[in-house]
Amino acid sequence: MNFNSLYEKPVLFAIAAVVVISIGTLVTTFIPLFLPSTQPVSPLVKPYTAVETEGRDIYIREGCNNCHTQTVRPLRAEVARYGDYSKPEESAWDRPFLWGSRRTGPDLARLGGKYPDAWHYRHMANPRSMFPASNMPAYPWLGTAKLDTALTARKVKVLGFGYDDAEVARQLAAFRRTVTVPSYASAQVRDQATPAALRGELTELDALVAYLQKLGRDLKAAQRPAGPGTAQAAEGKNPYAGDRAAGEEGEKIFEENCRVCHGEKGAGGFGPKLATTNHKFGGTDADLFASVSGGRPGGMPTFLQRLGRDRIWKVIAYIRRLEGGNR
C-alpha cells in the first residue's frame, strides 16, 4: 500500500488517528486505572458520613472548587502554610476528586479541625465581617435552606461507603441533635446564621460546615503526636518580655492572625479571651508559647511554621500588655 493513499481514504485515516491517540491514552490513563498503586487505600482514611456527603455535594453545587484547591504540594512554604502535603490515600473515597486548579482562596485540604464550627458559620454568612480584604462571596442563603436528605441513602449506596439506610437515618438524626442542642459550642453563631423556623432542623450550611471539618482530619488524627505543643515545651522564657517595640510589632501580627478569633484587643470571640491573666491553657510564657506554636484542641491552629518562634514571642509580648491593661 502506498502510504500517501492514507490521505485518500477517510475511513482508514480516521482509524489511523484513533490508533495514534490511543497509545498515550493507554499508557498514561488506562493502564494506571488498573494499578492498585495509583489509588492506594488506607484504613486510616474513613469514608464520609451521611451529613458530610451532603455537605460535599453542596460544595460541588456551589462550585467552591473553582476558587479553592484541596491538594497541598510537597513544597516547603506550602507545608508551612497549610500543613502536611497531600497523600494519594486521602482521596480514595472522592468521587469526583476535588483538588481544583486555582487558588483565588486558600487551599482547604487541611481545614478540618483548624477552626471551631462558629468560625465557619460566621465566615460563610459574610467573609468580610472577619476579613475586610477578602473577595469571597457571602453565602447567606445556605443557612436559610433546609437540607434535602431525600437522596442521601441512595448517594451513600452509589458511593459504596459501606453503611445501610438505617445507619444513614441514624447519622442524620444524631448530627441534627448535635448542632441543635443549646449546649452546642457554636450554638450562638449558628442561630445568627439560621432563621428561627430552621434552628431545630439541619440546614445546608450545617452540612457544608460538617464537610469542611472533615477535610484532612483523618490524616491529622493518624499523625497526631503525644500531645499538642510538646515539642515546643522546652521554650520557657520570652526574650522580648517588657520590650515595647516588640510588643508593638506583636500587635500588628495579632491583628493579622489572631484578632478574628480572639477579638479586638483580645476581648474574646470564637477563641478564649486573652486580655486576662487567667488563660485557658495556662499563663506562663511556656504555656502561651505552647498554645500558639502547637495549637490546642477545640480550634486553635498551630502557628509555629507560619509565624516562626520570633514572631510568636512578639505576639506573647503583646498579650502580656493586654493582660496589663486589664488589671
Partner 1 sequence: MTNGKRSDSVVRGFALSSVFWLLVGLVVGLWLAAEMIYPSLNLAPWLAFGRLRVVHTNGLAYGFTLAGIFAGSFYMLEKLTRTRLAFPGLAKVQLWLFNIAIALAALSLFAGMNTSKEYAELEWPLDIVVVVLWVMFAVNVMGTLVKRREKQMYVSLWFLVACVVTVAVVYILNNLAVPVSLTKSYSAYAGVNDANVQWWFGHNAVASVFTFPILAMFYYFLPKSAELPIYSHRLSIIAFWSLVFGYLWTGAHHLMLTPVPEWIQTVALAFSLFLIAPSWASVINGFYTMNGNWDRMKSNYLVKFFILGITFYGLQTIQGPTQAIRALSGHLHYTEYIPGHVHMGTMGWVTMIITASMYFMMGKIAGRGIHSVKLANVHFWLILVGQLLFTVALWIAGVVQGAMWKATNADGSLMYTFLDSVAAMYPYWTARLLGGLLYFAGIAVFAYNLIMTSRKPQAA
Residues 252-311 that bind partner 1 (CB under 8 A): 256-257, 304-311
Min dist CB 8 to partner 1, Å, is: 6
The DSSP code sequence of 105-132 is S---TT-TTTS-HHHHHHHHH-GGGT-T
Q: Could you say which residues in the range 113-172 bind partner 1, by CB under 8 A?
A: 127-128, 131, 133-139, 141, 151, 154-155, 158-159
Residues touching partner 1, count (CB under 8 A): 87
CB-wise, 38 or 277, nearer to partner 1? 38
Min dist CB 153 to partner 1, Å, is: 10
- Nearest to residue 323, comparing CAs of 253, 270, 264, 276? 276
| 2 forms part of the interface with partner 1 (CB under 8 A) | no
Cβ neighbours of residue 281 closer than 8 Å, sequence gap 6 or more: 287, 290, 291, 296
| 200 forms part of the interface with partner 1 (CB under 8 A) | no
Per CB under 8 A, the list member of 77, 173, 174, 221 interacting with partner 1 is 77
- Nearest to residue 113, comparing CAs of 268, 308, 295? 295
Compute the distance between CA of residue 130 and CA of residue 115 in angstroms, rounded to an integer.
13
Compute the distance between CA of residue 141 and CA of residue 17 in angstroms, rounded to an integer.
49
| 49 forms part of the interface with partner 1 (CB under 8 A) | no
Cell 485557658 belongs to 280
CB-wise, 257 or 276, nearer to partner 1? 257
Min dist CB 268 to partner 1, Å, is: 22
| 71 forms part of the interface with partner 1 (CB under 8 A) | yes
Cβ neighbours of residue 101 closer than 8 Å, sequence gap 6 or more: 69
CB 208 within 8 A of CB 57: no
| 80 forms part of the interface with partner 1 (CB under 8 A) | yes
CB-wise, 180 or 290, nearer to partner 1? 290
Min dist CB 28 to partner 1, Å, is: 6
- Grid cell at residue 199: 434552628
Min dist CB 114 to partner 1, Å, is: 13
